[in-house]
Amino acid sequence: MRVLESVLYAEDLVAARDFYTKVLELEEMIFDPERDLFLRCEGSVLIIFKASKTVIADSGVPAHGTVGAGHLAFAASESEIESWRERLATHNLPIIDEIYWKNGAHSIYFKDTAGNILEFATPSLWGMK
Amino acid sequence: MRVLESVLYAEDLVAARDFYTKVLELEEMIFDPERDLFLRCEGSVLIIFKASKTVIADSGVPAHGTVGAGHLAFAASESEIESWRERLATHNLPIIDEIYWKNGAHSIYFKDTAGNILEFATPSLWGMK
């Protein structure tokens, strides 16, 4: 079964948009600063919903919403992790943690503009390519 | 960029395990009833973290955690949506909403055991296969 939509929440969607489209270079699909930001990923969509809204309750679909720091990981090769390390540094975004896993996988952690904990991890972490 | 890990939170991980592995038939990778449940999806991992824990703070990786109903969608074909409709009914799990989108896509919504809003949607919703 494939995940088609992953979700994080942020209060300031303008800041989130800058971060996800300019720093992480994800493609913007839909953007409403008072509502949601849809970002195209490989085979799925990452949605950033405005945290303080009973989100999308007015669009006829069930309301949802969370408070607190969420988590999401992107797949990255070792060389891509090094590229991201440099790119995050360029944007003065600190790597808040780095783990070399027992199985040989490698992760770096950083925060988005809303405090969500993001990760770049080699897919070998989960025995994937 | 590919999403490698998507995350939802639940307080009762035993109930979540029953739901995600028996009803949704996802493959369990790791399960700790006081901590987390890792489920294998196509090309990614869905992690259900115990909501009341400052999750994984003791494992050396940055803490995160949210309160409230999260959201996640799985890709499903039209025929798979009909199969899931029957399967959910068998488990007395109501479909809380159903949408036929303007672009021809189709979604059904239901809740997991923690109240997270789940969705089966045809990938055509996002112009994907």
- The per-residue pLDDT for range B77-90, each reduced to its tens digit, is 999 999 999 999 99
Interacting residues of B3 by C-beta distance below 8 A, sequence separation 6+ = A3, A6, A41, A42, A44, A46, A72, A73, A74, A75, B44
Check CB contact under 8 Å for A1 and B74. yes
Question: What's this model's pTM, rounded to 2 decimal places?
Answer: 0.94
Tell whether A61 is covered by a domain. Answer: no
| Contact call for residues A71 and A117 (beta carbons, < 8 A) | yes
Check CB contact under 8 Å for A75 and B125. no
pLDDT value, residue B41:
98
Backbone φ and ψ for B64, nearest 5 degrees, come out as -155, 175
Closest CA to B119 of B47, B79, B69, B71: B71
Number of H helices, E strands in chain A: 2, 9
| Contact call for residues B9 and B65 (beta carbons, < 8 A) | yes
Q: Which of residues 87-106 of A touch B (CB under 8 A)?
A: 96-97, 99
> Residue A15 pLDDT more than 70?
yes
> Residue B107 pLDDT more than 80?
yes
d(CA A46, CA A39): 5
| Contact call for residues B46 and B10 (beta carbons, < 8 A) | no
Nearest to A123 among B4, B6, B60 (CB): B4
* Token duo for residue A104: 């040989």
- Boundaries of domain holding B1: 1-50
- The per-residue pLDDT for range B22-73, each reduced to its tens digit, is 999 999 999 999 999 999 999 999 999 997 775 555 566 778 888 889 999 9
- The per-residue pLDDT for range A55-114, each reduced to its tens digit, is 555 566 778 888 889 999 999 999 999 999 999 999 999 999 999 999 999 999 999 999
pLDDT value, residue A26:
98
Q: What's the number of domains chain A is made of?
A: 2
Tell whether B56 is covered by a domain. Answer: no
Min Cα distance A102 → chain B (Å) is 13
Tell whether B111 is covered by a domain. Answer: yes
Q: Which residue from A minimizes the CA distance to B75? A: A4
Is residue B81 located within the same domain as residue B129?
yes
ipTM rounded to 2 decimals = 0.94
* Token duo for residue B101: 């989108």
User: For the residues of A18-38, what is the DSSP string, one character each?
Assistant: IIIIIIS-PEEEEEETTTEEE
Residue A129 DSSP label? -
Tell whether A62 is covered by a domain. Answer: no
Is residue B73 located within the same domain as residue B112?
yes
- The per-residue pLDDT for range B116-129, each reduced to its tens digit, is 999 999 999 999 99
- The per-residue pLDDT for range A20-72, each reduced to its tens digit, is 999 999 999 999 999 999 999 999 999 999 977 755 555 667 788 888 899 99
Query: Residue B77: which CATH number?
Result: 3.10.180.10
Is residue B128 located within the same domain as residue B76?
yes
pLDDT value, residue B58:
55
